[in-house]
């Protein structure tokens, strides 16, 4: 079964992005690495928050409706607890498995932190810090959170401000929202290559040191 990251791009779109990276790196010695991941964290609190949010008012209403038709009465605590548990368990597992529901109960700040930390971890596990000229740049896209993070190595950071990448992050994020993520990623790669070529022009002995596309 394919992961969300694998479904995010069709095989044709993956080839197109690989080609975009190849074309961009024909102008620069910089190493551009787009990375698509299904999610940056499991977010175990999201289904708990969601189930509580849904279950509490529903159980209160159900207890009153059921109790009012029987001798136990509409305010019976035990009836409420039975209703709460009966609703909470299926609600929890439904939210856990249905990703668009789970996303509704993500805490935005937490999601941002998890994506940032996962991108930083990927930067090192994929060895972007090991390029000869310290000019690797990671374009990290987390599908579940719909968030993008760009991390550049020391050589790039010394010459190019991080603020230059914020417009590219916004470009991809907007493209994902409009379901034109492949176009947005390709445009972003082209822009990154154009930014890098002035400070990191292509060299005669240039070799491709890193993957052109990583999908996890």
Asked if 194 contacts 30 with a C-beta cutoff of 8 angstroms, the reply is no
126 shares its domain with 204: yes
Among 64, 79, 104, which residue terminates a domain? 104
Q: Pick the range with the lowest mean pLDDT from 42-56, 69-83, 90-104, 175-189.
A: 69-83
Closest to 216 (Cα-Cα) out of 136, 142, 123, 139: 142
pLDDT band with cut points at 50, 70 and 90 for residue 205: confident
Tokens 């059921």 belong to which residue? 66
Asked if residue 63 has pLDDT above 90, the reply is no
111 shares its domain with 90: no
Among 65, 82, 104, which residue terminates a domain? 104
SS (H, E, C) the chain: CCCHHHHHCCHHHHHHHHHHHHHHHCCECCEEEEEEECCCCCCCHHHHHHHHHHHHHHHHHHHHHHHCCCCCCCCCHHHHHHHHHHHHHHHHHHHHHCHHHHHHCCCHHHHHHHHHHHHHHHHHHCCHHHCCCCCEEEEEEECCCCEEEEEECHHHHCCCCCHHHHHHHHHHHHHHHCCCHHHHHHHHHHHHHHHHHHHCECCCCCCCCCCCCEEC
Specify the pLDDT at position 106: 92
Count of domains observed in the chain: 2
37 shares its domain with 51: no
67 shares its domain with 95: yes
Dist CA 68 CA 60 (whole Å):
12
Return the structure tokens found at 125. Answer: 């596990």
Per-residue pLDDT reduced to its tens digit, 102-119:
999 999 999 999 999 999
Asked if residue 72 has pLDDT above 80, the reply is no
pTM of the predicted model, to two decimals? 0.88
Specify the pLDDT at position 66: 84
68 shares its domain with 140: no
Beta carbons within 10 angstroms of residue 121's beta carbon: 12
Torsion sign (Cα): 170, 137, 139, 145: negative
Closest to 144 (Cα-Cα) out of 38, 48, 44: 38
Dist CA 154 CA 123 (whole Å):
12
Specify the pLDDT at position 194: 95
Dist CA 70 CA 67 (whole Å):
5
143 shares its domain with 178: yes
Q: Pick the range with the lowest mean pLDDT from 61-65, 141-145, 179-183, 186-190.
A: 61-65
157 shares its domain with 173: yes
Per-residue pLDDT, averaged over 118-123, amounts to 96
54 shares its domain with 159: no
Specify the pLDDT at position 1: 76
Q: Which domain holds residue 50?
A: 45-104
pLDDT band with cut points at 50, 70 and 90 for residue 91: very high
Q: State percent of the chain over pLDDT 90.
A: 79
C-alpha dist (Å) from residue 192 to 49, 122, 143, 197: 39, 19, 21, 9
């Amino acid at each position: 079964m394919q992961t969300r990251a694998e479904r995010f791009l069709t095989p044709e779109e993956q080839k197109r992005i690989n080609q975009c990276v190849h074309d961009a790196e024909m102008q620069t010695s910089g190493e551009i690495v787009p990375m698509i991941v299904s999610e940056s964290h499991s977010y175990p609190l999201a289904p708990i928050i969601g189930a509580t949010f849904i279950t509490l008012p529903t159980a209160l209403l159900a207890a009153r409706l059921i109790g009012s038709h029987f001798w136990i009465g509409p305010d019976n605590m035990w009836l409420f607890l039975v209703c709460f548990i009966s609703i909470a368990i299926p609600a929890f597992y439904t939210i856990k498995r249905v990703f668009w529901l789970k996303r509704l109960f993500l805490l935005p700040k937490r999601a941002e932190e998890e994506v940032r930390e996962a991108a930083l971890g990927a930067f090192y596990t994929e060895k972007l810090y090991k390029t000869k000229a310290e000019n690797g740049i990671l374009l990290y896209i987390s599908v579940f959170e719909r968030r993008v993070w760009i991390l550049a190595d020391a050589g790039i950071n010394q010459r190019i401000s991080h603020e230059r990448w914020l417009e590219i992050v916004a470009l991809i994020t907007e493209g994902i929202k409009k379901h034109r993520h492949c176009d947005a990623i390709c445009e972003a790669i082209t822009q990154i290559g154009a930014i890098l070529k002035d400070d990191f022009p292509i060299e005669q002995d240039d070799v491709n040191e890193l993957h052109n596309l990583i999908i996890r």
